[in-house]
Structure 1
Amino acid sequence: MTEGRQARGDQAALETLIIGHSAAAQHLRDMIRRVARSNASVMLCGPSGSGKELVARAIHDEGVRAGKTFSAINCGAIPGELIESELFGHEKGSFTGATARRIGHFEASDGGTIFLDEIGDMRFDMQVKLLRVLEDRTIVRVGSSEMRKVDVRVISATHQDLGAAIADGKFREDLFFRLGVVVLQVPSLANRVEDIPALIRHFQRNMPADAKCRFDEAALALLMRHNWPGNVRELRNFVERASVLHGGETLGSGDVAMLLNPTAAMPRLAVATGPVAVPDASETVPVAPRKSPAPGRPIDLKREIETIELEQIHVALDLADGIISEAARLLSLKRTTLIEKMRKYGVQQQQAA
């Protein structure tokens, strides 16, 4: 998958949205065409970075609501206390900071489509309110009692196992069935590796000639053996990294191996008894090198720890493309803990949206 169309106006065919000729890509395009014909709610399941927002855009663009508003909201990137206002709007003075009336995404998307990404991160009490909106097709702004009709198609997405979340009492089963009238599986890149050459060409299409890399047969073979834990997002970042470091060159398998593991050469923290075991680089955030106190000069340990912590938060958010739940996983933190630390260090929410 690739970056989606920003508007209907370019009339791009579905084949230019879902890149590749693998069986998985062809099946996905066929399913998009089928579900686009109706207004049924669709739930997209698949790993992070596989292109679920693009699929949602394609469903919107191929359907009867094409040309209307498409709104994408990452439920995992919005603080729990603000998500009701984001979705349904609020009246002036309804809470501290509500200095003016605000229209929510549902109301602003009337007639169009709303895409709720990372729906599995939504608070349980908000799940109840969302279910009521889906059943009644009405919204109530925070601080108001007036019900407003909305005509919105809802497409949701998650990389979580909602079956397990339902069993654990963390996700409402009735909401799952309401959101997932049609459940569509978005394949991982590992399940469509034959599309990698076409995806690389797509990511390079707007690059100047001297920035484009070529890959020999051994390099392409290595790319197709890689497990791609970050999926298409990881491949896109790989292509960009290759263009920066090796623009205009023909790369071999050794070059590709280094580019696929950019943190391998970075120093990591060690303890007095020996080096720390290094986890899989694809699942961790690179750790900054340890500082030693200069002779006769103390080191501000608290400040050093805070500096390292802030740096790692920025790195994790960058690797996760701003998805807070994914960044929290990379940092081995709870999502709420990461949000608290972001507030502590003044990391702006819009930087992680």
Structure 2
Amino acid sequence: ANMAGTALVRGYGRDMELEADELGAEYLNRLGYSPEAMIEVVRLLKNQEMLELQLARQEGRQPRVYHGVFSTHPDNDTRLKEVVAAARKTPGAGDQRPDGHEAYLQRIAGLPLGPSREQGVVKGSRFYHGTLGMTVAFPTGWIVDNQPTKVVASNPQKDAVLQLTAVPPPPGAKPQELLARSLGGAPLSGGEPLTVNGLQGYTAVARDIGLPWGNRGPARGAVIYYNGLAYVFTGASRLTGAFAANDALFLSSIKTFRRLRDNELQLAEPQRIKLVKATASTRIAVLAAASPIEKYPAERLRLLNDLYPDKEPTPGSWLKVVE
């Protein structure tokens, strides 16, 4: 029943997608661009989805995708090709304008790939924020996720997490008071002032609060004041019995928080797009080996250059690499 319901909903979604693609192709045609470019756009999005499915299988997690299980690749999508072909029948200038590919490439050279300096960057297990001038190291081997409002690190088993947020402290509020508020007023134990690399703070354990897994249990909390902001750490384990062992890791990471040194400012810079011209000997595997992309560099470079899943560059073409 669930499968049938999902198929029905996705069927409606597919019809809406085709309508949107048809309108997009019509607009391109009216403006003097090739409507077939719409197929290229959808194909790139589908390739991105295919890579995400591949990575999710390898990492043992749920894929973060939108399209349904019955979606087809645009190379084999007859309905998509039909609606795009129909766009050519609408009044328009046809293929009068250049696609601007070369100009586009020159304009994106040097752009950040991924989070910007203002969002902070993750390199290995360490988080750098150039604008805020801070850095912190999470446990080695943990997965560090830089989200829009917080940084969340979890162990490979995903049964222990350490979260970091930054908030402006209320006027006159001491670290101890702010920590109590951040932990929902839960009773605290083992509270003590904290001095971390010359910065003042406070830490304690809340014995019973709501945890990310939907249950309740203890959590390590800490607040560190730096440069007008309060940095709030919260560490928890899914199982209460594992909290003591993980708490040592939480405290160890919290105590790595510090000001960014002058010689580390470059580390806080994001990866950026660089253009290189392919030669007859250019191979994605060689570019991937020299790339700063930490995970799946070959797959990501192929996706970035419309070469996914296994194509090689054409000699003389411009390639987007990462530096």
Which protein shows a greater Rg?
A: 2
Q: Which has the higher contact order (CA 8 A, sep 6+)?
A: 1
Larger helix share, 1 or 2: 1
**Given the two structures, how large is their TM-score scaled by the length of structure 2?**
0.24
Larger strand share, 1 or 2: 2
**Given the two structures, how large is their TM-score scaled by the length of structure 1?**
0.22
